[in-house]
Amino acid sequence: MSTAQSPLVVVCGATGSQGSSVAQYLLRDGGYRVRALTRNPASDKVQSLKKQGAEIFGCDLVDKEQVKAALNGAYAVFGVTNFWEHGEDSEIRQGINLADAAIANRLEHFVWSSCPHIQGEAPRHWESKVQVNRYLREHGVPTTTVFSSFYYQNLWMFFPPKRLPDGSLILDWIFPSEVRIPSFSVEDLGAWVLAALKSPSTWIGIVPGREMKLCSEVLTPRDYAAKLSIGLDTKVLLKDVTIVEFEAIRSHVPPDVWLNISEYT
């Protein structure tokens, strides 16, 4: 159980997929105090964190002074931003506000949820995070960069199996049937962040090997269908998709979405 002397970790997006996982793992570990940042302190999710021992702090990451106050007295911060909510410029501003607040408050560890830098045209929601990561490095902020892979949960959110008239299920996915997709459960992201916080000398730095690339297994859509069949105890068929069929959807999805999903092929 944490005490008043335990290191304080600030968790951004504490009610979101990534932040809530980090908060839960830290609270269960008991070795850290948790300050959960939120724009809606009255929400049910926030109140649940409060009951578990988290300090609740109302904060909008766009507000530089609020962010500075939120990080006051902290040992570390888990930083995550949402491109899809406000766009590229706002995401960069939020990340830089966090970096500047970490510098002003002399934090010892900044865990940044980012995306990889790639050659050529990249999704804007990747590049905005890369710019923040670059800012952290250039300003000497002790950083661990965390790269997520495909969430298992996204399958259920965006491509749930469909029920056929005969009672069987079919996975009608956009990806080519044999493409290999690095995957993990976002509910476990906090385990990696906790490991980084417990071993800062291993995970802070600019050496590529010290970046955390989160992946539990690499699965094809065919593998997903097979695993779902076992888990649901119901045959799950796969609608086969060829590379040519996959390429044909390009004109029907937003450019950033296409650049994102095409990285898997």
Domains delineated in the chain: 1-147+184-215 (3.40.50.720), 150-180+220-265 (3.90.25.10)
- pTM of the predicted model as reported, rounded to 2 decimal places: 0.89
Closest CA to 112 of 89, 90, 128, 88: 128
Return all residues near 138 (Cβ < 8 A) that are at least 6 apart.
none
The tokens describing 225, both together, are 């269908």
pLDDT by 10s per residue, the chain, length 265: 677 789 999 999 999 999 999 999 999 999 999 999 998 888 888 999 999 999 999 999 999 999 999 999 999 999 998 766 776 788 899 999 999 999 999 999 999 998 765 555 555 566 788 889 889 989 999 999 999 999 999 998 888 999 999 888 999 988 899 999 999 999 999 999 999 999 999 999 755 546 899 999 999 999 999 999 999 999 999 999 888 888 887 777 766 666 666 666 5
Q: Helices 17-29 and 189-198, interaxial angle, to 10°?
A: 50
